[in-house]
Structure 1
Amino acid sequence: MLIALSNTPRDYAWGSPTLLADLEGREPTGAPEAEVWFGDHPGSPAEVHDGSGRTLDAWLPAAAAEHDVPAKLPYLLKLLAAGAPLSIQVHPSKQQAVEGFAREEAAGVARDAAERNYKDDNHKPEVIVALSDTFTALAGLRDLARTRALVDLLGDAPAVAALRAHLRGDDSADALRSAIGWLLGEADPAAIEQIVDAAASAESEEYAAELALTRSLHSAYPADPGIVVALLMNLVELRRGEAIFVPAGVLHAYVAGLGVEIMAASDNVLRGGLTPKHIDVDELLSLVDFRPAEPPFLRATPSGADAEVFAPDVEDFSLGHLAAGGATELPLTGVAIALGVAGRTTVSGASGSRLVLEPGQAALVTADESPLATDGGGEVFVAMPGD
């Protein structure tokens, strides 16, 4: 069974006013359009176009007994259009989410409270694949020797010297924990401004992109400590079709561009800067993996002609990709959501059911339709459970 799905864009302030409209070939609304969710998450469930008038969170439990679908999806698929940087954030592991959610439930913290950290008891690993020519992100903490070299460019103002002192030591993770804890919890706005001003006036060929981002972030988030936290992170520029995988504990922020994103079905986000929202510094520090690492690129595995799968080591999801150019097939690992991102593509299942997908259009595909086939000059991403 193939059934068309749709949803309306979320109007978060960081959204782009043009990227989603350009993808779908329509006039921009003039408002920021940040994300379109294709899933059953109650925050913005997709509409099911089968005449029932239901959204997917209601449709799946009603259909589970009759069709080959679960009552709830383990993943959430999104189009994400960043016109301005998102907050620096981290997601908990499954165990941390279970414990944190139970703790806040027992304490009586309202689930919609601004200070609430855990909205549910699930983890939220995620993958994003660039759809724009470039997609800029911050992902993970940079090698400490390189970070020290960057900070050495900033001169000897008192706040810079304090940051440098926190970054000393033989244990890289301890040094980065100390620096980020100080920036988010103890450094006053004047100290943050001093470091940012030093970075804004610094020059370096090697770190030109990082220093330019600092200047850009300063105009968007004046005196926000996250500007300096960003200086400690890997700056990544994905080309179209490239991906990163962000597991639990990895600090990250999406800065600019259009991408297709898949994640475990959760809303657990702890923020670490570039935001006016609540930051629980102690809880954030308890979750972050402070070990420096290279950017977490994720390479796709080929799956037949013109098909590939982005498959991180998680049970919740994998993301198939069917390239433009001709007929191809993709085996499904369970109930799937197919999303058109370029051209015009006919998708069809084993039963002979067919739908045409234009960019920005999606379809629910039951597992018994495997393999999913495409034909035409379009490009499709397919969300499905992990294998």
Structure 2
Amino acid sequence: MLAPLTNTPRDYAWGSSTLIAELEGRVPSGRPEAEVWFGDHPGSPALLQDGSSRTLDAWFAAEGVATDSPERLPYLLKLLAAGSPLSIQVHPSQEQARAGAAREDAAGIAVDAPHRNYRDDNHKPEVIVAVSDTFEALAGLRPLARTRVLLDALGDAPGVARLREVLGATDDAAALRDALAWLLSGTAGPAVAEIIAAVRAATSETFATEIAAIGRIADAYPGDPGVVVALLMNHVTLRRGEAVYVPAGVLHAYLSGLGVELMAASDNVLRGGLTPKHIDVDELLAIVDTRPGEPPLLPAVAGEPGVDVFAPGIEDFELLRVVVAEGEVRRIRLRGPAIALATAGAPVVTAPGGRVELVPGGAAFASPDERTLEITGAGELYLAMPGRVPRRPAAG
């Protein structure tokens, strides 16, 4: 089966009021539109336009496909539009997610409780590819030698001096862990205010982009300790078609722009600032990887002509960017259930089980029995499917 797939944008406060509407060529709704989910995740399952009015999870259930079957979607594809910064966050590994969900289940914490950390027992590695001309993000903790140079540009206010002191350990990962613990402890408020004031007053050619970004974050979340956490992170500006890959444990936040996001089918988030939502500092520190490094960019690998492949080497997913000109045909071999999401032009997706004409923002679902897709028309789409790595059997 090949059928159109739709969903309603989620109106999170950080969403853009224009980006998704502009992509789809419609008048903005006037509300923030943050994410459109294309998948079978129970948090917001997509709707099949096959005449049945079923959601995608209901279709799998009707087909008798168990939730742990290899034919089930191991991923969740999203269109994400950030009008203001998302929370700083980190996602657990598979082992951490299973242990955390079991622990909270045993404690009787409802799955939808605001203070629950683990909504499910799955990990949540993710890739985001820029669809807008630029997409701004924070990804990973900056090498500490460079952060110390940045702090030198902020002067000698007491809060800045205190942060330098906390970062003084000889082991960089331990120093950054200490800094996160201090900043999120609830006792660093005066120092946070002094550091933010120093950022606003600072001038630096080397760190002009980072200082400007932190200033914008501080405008959105005045006084939030996450502003100073952001100061420790790599600032990344993706160009259209460039990607970041965020594995388990890597601290990150998306700041602005429109992107296609593909992740394991999970909603597990541990937050580290820039949010009014629950922050469990102890649990965050238990799963975050504080080893500093360069931004985790994921270069595309050229596949067939007109096809770029974003493959992080995991079993859950792989993302293809497919560009086709009028008169051309792209033939894609599938591995399990696939979802195509158009981002430009009018690509046409054809399989033995159907034909779908797409427009920007439109999607199509190919069931697990489909083995190939033909893409024609003129346009661009992103195609999600399971990764090349064989899937492990479910635990238990």
Give ranges in structure 2 of 5+ residues lacking alignment.
389-396
Q: 1:149 to 1:249 in 2, by over 3 A?
A: same
CA deviation digits over 1:333-372, x for unaligned, max 9? 11101111100011112x2732111111111112443321
Give the structure 1 partner of residue 278 of structure 2. Answer: 278
Give the structure 2 partner of residue 204 of structure 1. Answer: 204
Taking the TM superposition and a 5 Å limit, the aligned residue runs for 1:111-122 are: 111-122=111-122
Give the structure 2 partner of residue 187 of structure 1. Answer: 187
Q: So what's the TM-score if we normalise by structure 2? A: 0.94
Taking the TM superposition and a 5 Å limit, the aligned residue runs for 1:35-114 are: 35-64=35-64, 72-114=72-114
Cα distance in 2 for partners of 1:186, 1:340 equals: 44
When structure 1 is superposed on structure 2, of 311-320 and 242-251 the one drifting more is 311-320
Cα distance in 2 for partners of 1:328, 1:229 equals: 44
Shift, 1:64, TM fit: 4.2
CA deviation digits over 1:177-203, x for unaligned, max 9? 111111111533222111100111010
CA deviation digits over 1:16-45, x for unaligned, max 9? 010000100111111110000000011111
Give the structure 2 partner of residue 150 of structure 1. Answer: 150
Give the structure 2 partner of residue 235 of structure 1. Answer: 235
Q: Which amino acid aligns with 2:97?
A: A
Shift, 1:239, TM fit: 0.2
Aligned length: 383
Give ranges in structure 1 of 5+ residues lacking alignment.
none
1:225 aligns with 2:218: no
Contact 2:306 2:322 (8 Å CA) reproduced = yes
Q: Residue 95 of structure 1 aligns to a residue in which SS?
A: helix
Contact 1:143 1:292 (8 Å CA) reproduced = yes
Shift, 1:72, TM fit: 3.3
Identity fraction in percent: 62
CA deviation digits over 1:218-268, x for unaligned, max 9? 111011000000010000000000001000000000000000000000010
1:371 aligns with 2:372: yes
Contact 2:3 2:355 (8 Å CA) reproduced = no
Q: Which amino acid aligns with 1:365?
A: A
Give the structure 1 partner of residue 261 of structure 2. Answer: 261
1:327 aligns with 2:329: yes
Q: Residue 184 of structure 2 aligns to a residue in which SS?
A: helix
Contact 2:124 2:264 (8 Å CA) reproduced = yes
Cα distance in 2 for partners of 1:314, 1:92 equals: 15
Give the structure 2 partner of residue 138 of structure 1. Answer: 138
1:356 aligns with 2:366: no
Contact 1:7 1:47 (8 Å CA) reproduced = yes
RMSD of Structure 2 on Structure 1 (CA): 1.3
Give the structure 2 partner of residue 383 of structure 1. Answer: 384
Give the structure 1 partner of residue 391 of structure 2. Answer: none
Cα distance in 2 for partners of 1:371, 1:72 equals: 18
Cα distance in 2 for partners of 1:132, 1:180 equals: 32
Q: So what's the TM-score if we normalise by structure 1? A: 0.96
Q: Residue 36 of structure 1 aligns to a residue in which SS?
A: strand
CA deviation digits over 1:253-297, x for unaligned, max 9? 000000000000001000000001111111101111111111111
